Amino acid sequence: MTGEGVRVAAPPRRRAGVPAGVMLAIAWLMVILAIALLADLVRPYGITAMDLRARLQPPIGFGGSWAHALGTDELGRDVLSRLIESIRISLQIAFGATIIAAVFGTTMGFLAAHFRGWVEQCVLMLIDFQASMPFLILALSVLAFFGNSLVLFVCLMGLYGWERHARISRGLAIAANAQGYAAAVRQLGARPMRIYLGHVLPNIASTLIVAATLSFPEVVLLESGLSFLGLGVQPPMTSLGNMVGYGREYITRAPWIMLAPSVVIVLTTLSVSILGDWLRDRLDPTLT
Amino acid sequence: MLRFIALRVGRALLTIVLVVTFAFVVLRLSGDPALMIMSPDAPPEALAAFRQAWGLDAPIWLQYLKYFGAILQGELGQSMRDGRPAIQLVAERIPATLTLTLPALALKVGLGIPAGIYAALHRNSMTDRVVMTFAVAGFTVPSFVLGLILVLIFAVQLGWLPSGGAESWRSIILPVIAMGLGGAGVLARFTRSAMLEVLGQPYIRTASAKGVPWGAVVRGHALPNAAIPTVTVVGFMVGSLMAGAVVVESVFSWPGVGRLMVVAVANRDLAVVQCVLLLVSATMVTSNLIVDVMYGVLDPRLRGQAPAGGGH
């Protein structure tokens, strides 16, 4: 949907080194990952700790002090601390959702490739359905009416993008079934589970990993969009989109509340996209 | 060709049935609407009366059949909040949404496709790099972030344009840009890749080799062939004319279908949510159908086969 077949016409590039842009992207992602893992250690304040004497303080460089490096919000809560916690929650959701989408999608793809016939038709129909519906609207309906728990939210995000994995794994598994190695294992009497998990999956894993890298930023954008609307992650928990939604109220007086998480969202999705594009060029240039 | 169209129409109807079923299952089984609307400590008689009034006491399959029958008759229920027909509430928001999404679509197509074609024809030039940088940014900057940054610059700092509301024609400028730029980036990227793929084909070399001027090669051979994949993306954008503005409408407090949806969801207003869901999916399915049929017109090879996987 995003039109990523840009380099399909070009011969696959095999560079010895890693381009500078990709290095920067990797570096940023490492920093973000480290922050997410060490959130409790690097966070200067609690996310709900209020300092009513220091409300709406600007960040450093705009008249702020090191006590609150990225300023404070309306309730005197430290923006940096909330940002760190938001990064952790948003990444947890995005990773969880991407893994669910990959596992579920690949399973569906394998089922379709193994049984063919009406099972395959059903899977294809579900894929068509998913691809032809605006997911945001579906997600809105589900979320509001099931109430909002973090588990449900992650599962819902996991439903997003499963169809890409299903399409890819179905195609690749059908191709693999026609190849010698799968036939050989089957002749030796291996059960389908063993053929698919032990032999087919490792052979197509690189393509699936690239597909996951391509859908990761989309999940981050979707999560932040829903949380921005106030329908995703709920207070007192905080996520990047949630922070932007809250900061929007103070856009005239304290734009930093909204700008800090915005910058993190953009840089993170950009970095994963750059990394994903690069991986695709290296591993599987035919993937879209 | 007739069989081709019949198959596609059948598939479209099936999608609608799936959406209706999905809506019904999710919305009805998620909880007791009577408790959500009334409050848990309402007297039991009032709850029972409410359930009976809305048909919530019947077995679920009967509710489903009734629901389906009602939809076939154009009866989509009443808003549980103010008692007006949901379809009326939704219908009166449609013009406001289209006021934003149609100019945004024009911006996407008018900016994205020419930029993509130009970038492909001048591959690896400075312009190509600039266009592609913008295209990637268009994909990675969420529309609410872009919208808020536009508000910050043009409404808060410069004071040139209103930051929200729908008072004058100037109110539509920022939301349209916030929606259009991202889509233009996506479309530019897609058009460029489609063009590059076509330009690498042997028939382009043949046409050039037999002395056809380059401009004529591009117009006569490259553009028509590159149009096929681009039509899919444009079709998807046309399909999201109703749904595409949910986030941006919220950023700019625009009184459209998207705002209505968000508010209805927050209020748990079943009828309105279902109505929006149906409207959005009908728009989407119709435009997918048109795209499918246009495929058949643009590329006769596709008439015989069923494309799997949502036309990517």
Segment A32-45, tens digit of pLDDT: 898 888 877 777 77
Residue whose C-alpha is closest to residue A251's, from B299, B44, B154, B36: B154
Q: Which of B140, B237, B269 to mutate to test the interface with A (most CBs of A within 10 A)?
A: B140
Higher pLDDT, B60 or B145: B145
For residue B28, name the pLDDT band (cuts at 50, 70, 90).
low
Q: What is the pLDDT of residues B191-211, one digit of tens each?
A: 888 888 888 788 878 888 887
Contact A127 B308 (CB under 8 A): yes
CA distance B138 to B159: 25
Please identify among residues 218-257 of chain B the ones whose CB lies closer than 8 Å to any CB of chain A: 229, 233, 236, 239-240, 243-244, 246-247, 250-251
For residue B169, name the pLDDT band (cuts at 50, 70, 90).
confident
Q: What is the pLDDT of residues A202-257, one digit of tens each?
A: 888 888 887 888 788 888 888 888 888 887 787 778 888 888 888 888 888 778 88
Contact A262 B233 (CB under 8 A): no
In the numeric block, the tokens 């989309």 are attached to A218
CA distance B49 to B65: 22
Structural domains in chain B, sorted by start: 16-72 (no CATH), 93-268+279-302 (1.10.3720.10)
Contact A244 B145 (CB under 8 A): yes
Using CB atoms, pick whichever of B11, B136, B240 lies closest to residue A270: B136
Instruction: Tell me what the mean pLDDT of segment B223-247 comes to.
Output: 80
pLDDT at B105 over 70: yes
Query: Can you give the pLDDT at residue B153?
Result: 86
Secondary structure (3-state) at B52 = helix
pLDDT at B278 over 70: yes
CA distance B281 to chain A (A): 6
Q: Name the residue of chain B whose CA is nearest to A8's CA.
A: B197
Give the whole-number percent of chain B exceeding pLDDT 90: 1
Q: Which residues contact A5 (CB under 8 A, 6 or more apart)?
A: A288, B193, B194, B197
CA distance A225 to A233: 10
Q: Chain B partners of A134 at a C-beta cutoff of 8 Å?
A: 239-240, 243-244, 280, 284
CA distance A141 to B214: 52
Higher pLDDT, A105 or B160: A105
CA distance A11 to B119: 19
Q: How many CA atoms lie within 13 A of A17 on its CB side?
A: 4
Query: Can you give the pLDDT at residue B30?
Result: 59
Query: If you ran DSSP here, which 8-state letter would residue B166 be given?
Result: S
Cβ atoms A279, A210 nearer than 8 A: yes
**ipTM of the prediction:** 0.75
Q: Can you list the residues of chain A whose pLDDT is less than 50?
A: 1-12
CA distance A118 to A105: 18
Query: Can you give the pLDDT at residue B306?
Result: 47
